[in-house]
Amino acid sequence: MAAILSDAELVQRCRAGDQAAWHELVERFSRYVYAICVQGFRLQGHDAEDVFQEVFARVFEHLDRLRSDDAIRPWIAQLTRRLCIDKLRSSGREAPAEVEEEVAELDRTLESLDDALTVRAGLDEVGDPCREILDRFFCRDESYKVIGDALELPAGTIASRISRCLAKLKAQLEGRSEGSSPSRA
Amino acid sequence: MTGYDTERIAELLRLLPPPPEGWIRAAQELPQARAELDALVARAEDDAAFRAQVVADLEAALEAEGIDPTPSVVAALRVRLASG
């Protein structure tokens, strides 16, 4: 898919049975769902994987119930949150929603993840090579050497490229209009 | 989100590492898996002996049909058979 589709366009294509659009939807929200499970609710291993798969299974099954195609992002967030709580309860652990301090912390984490998803969307709009360099360094925690080897760039230039790419991403985010942009993750 | 200083941007990028590749692939293959599940359920509805075999061991039945018996697929099959 060459052009970056908005969330609503992506949902419409998925609903029409477009396989490539479904792949893109999973790709776009996979990090977000994963982060809510692992960072928000501290699920690990199979528990996190179960919730992750269940979220996408329900999204696939109930996509036609979505009232507004633009609302896919909050819907996925809410669905993930609910399934994480169910998982914690089913395994006899206390869900964060039961302790006030933890609720506040969870809300802050989820808010940050929402901001992070917006930044990811900006990163996709900036495109490669910045997207790949920043993703490798910040999200995959790769060293300058590993990035340099992978992208066939001198390792000594990676730090300055990261700095330039961050500035480019910052400019992109500042100029980004709200509402119609994709929530790519 | 308001304000985009580069330190905050870097911090936010770090919050979204990729999940394991296999998880993404399994979720992406869901439509195909569901179609295979539909075929399996249809066969179980037509063939009582096959249905009994499937109900006896859902995971084994899925594996025999070449479907990865992930928890969500097994749960979906259980629901489909119960409602069928």
Rg from Cα positions in chain B:
20
Q: Got the DSSP string for A24-87?
A: HHHHHHHHHHHHIIIIIS---HHHHHHHHHHHHHHHHHHGGG-S-GGGHHHHHHHHHHHHHHHH
Mind listing the pLDDT tens digit for each residue in A129-141? 999 999 999 999 9
Q: Is A51 among the domain residues?
A: yes
Mind listing the pLDDT tens digit for each residue in B36-49? 888 888 999 899 99
Are A77 and A114 in contact by the 8 Å Cβ rule? The answer is: yes
Q: Is A135 among the domain residues?
A: yes
User: What is the per-residue pLDDT for A177?
Assistant: 47
Sign of CA dihedral B34, A39, B20, A165: positive
| Length of chain A counted residue by residue | 185
User: CB distance B23–A30 less than 8 Å?
Assistant: yes
Confidence of residue A105 (pLDDT cuts 50, 70, 90): confident
Report percent pLDDT > 70 for chain A. Answer: 89
CA angle B14, A99, A45 (to 5 degrees): 45
C-alpha B47, offset from chain centre = 24
Q: Is A89 among the domain residues?
A: yes
Structural domain harbouring A107: 7-174
Residue A180 has pLDDT above 50, yes or no: no
Mind listing the pLDDT tens digit for each residue in A22-59? 999 999 999 999 999 999 999 988 999 999 999 999 99
The CATH number of the domain holding residue A98 is 1.10.1740.10
Q: Is A180 among the domain residues?
A: no
Of A53, A166, A185, the CB nearest to B6: A166
Residue A104 has pLDDT above 50, yes or no: yes
Query: How many distinct structural domains can be found in chain A?
Result: 1
A-B contacts (CB, under 8 Å):
105
